[in-house]
Amino acid sequence: MKILRTYILTEHVAPFSVTVGGLTAVLLIGNIIKFADLVISKGVSLFDILRLILYLIPSMLGFTVPMACLVAVVLAFSRLNTDYELIAMRASGVAPIRLVLPLLLVGSVISALLLIVNDRVAPTSHLAFRRQLKAIGAKQPTAYLEAGTFIKDFPPYVIFVYQVEGQQLFNVRIYEPQSAGPTRTIIAERGAFEPLPEKRVVQLKLHDGTVDEWDPKNPGAFYKVIFTTYSMTLRSDQDDPALMRKKLREMTFKELAAERKRLSSEGIETLPVSLELHRKIAFPFATVVFVAFGLALGLRLHHHERLTGFVWILGIFICYYLGSIGMNAVALKGVLSPWLAMWVPNLVGGLLSGAMTAKAVRH
């Protein structure tokens, strides 16, 4: 029986690995396209981009791993059904329940590992991702400048750039609102940023432009200054990457509990913190629910019903995560407590999958 259990578990390794890799790649595609533009057009280091991608992966595992478990179980049993191996096992007196228990145990182990990821790895990696973005912006300010949009990261200035090519800016407009008069306007044909990260400032060098100055001695009158080269020191209002405060999703379970206690002592609403805490605890156990659904489908579907199996997979996945979103909204309205709202998808999914699996095992 030990050999049979090992064989069954081995059959799930390949589809699980491929599905995790495929789903993670799909989720990363949108970011990879943006990051590729930073490397090609803005000159951002490829090493910095690879670090950003690596920092994104842990936060995706809570989504991709449960889905991969569902797909792997259905595909593995579909293969076993196609080769009539399940029929041979049953004919040899192997009860289906003996195939179910090892997979449920593996699903529980994966849930425990995801719980650790949600508590330690994902929060740390997401914070590191934001810090890395800030660090890139400090080294290369043009990396996140988008042509045709107003840039308000360097108060009191509002910057508008018509064209960005690499490190060069073209057709630059800079507006400086004045408390005691009209807005000061600087127009330049081109310019470039020179970062000074050690001072947390950047120097903007403008070329071939004009400055419209308001004459305080003659209200309503302006005079124009023409320049060949004009330098400005800009200080970002962004936080120092090393001193960035954690968002809720970047806190561990212990930190969330402490934050909830602190807010409660100050008379501040703690519902968002409670939701985040219970979400991080409840979501990993979707793995066990999905494994149970996969077993129910794998034991009952025949080899010619693969399309039906994929429809079931998609339906289960959509229902679970839409249910989670719906329960979040219900909790925000105060209808259910945060812990119950976050656990309802698991409880309902567990009851349904358990009943389906028990029925499949009996037949």
DSSP 284-295: GGHHHHHHHHHH
Return d(Cα 186, Cα 165) in angstroms, integer. 20
Which residues, at least 6 apart from 297, have a Cβ–Cβ distance to it below 8 Å?
73, 74, 77, 309, 312, 313, 356
pLDDT at residue 320 in the model: 95
Q: How many whole angstroms from its chain centre is CA 43? A: 25
pLDDT at residue 238 in the model: 55
Phi, psi of 153 (to 5 degrees): -85, -5
Mean of the per-residue pLDDT values of the chain: 85
Residue ranges, the chain, pLDDT below 50: none
pLDDT at residue 133 in the model: 81
pLDDT at residue 65 in the model: 95
pLDDT at residue 358 in the model: 86
How does DSSP classify residue 233? E
Give the domain ranges of the chain: 2-138+245-362, 154-237
Which two three-digit tokens encode residue 11?
């059959």
Return d(Cα 341, Cα 331) in angstroms, integer. 6
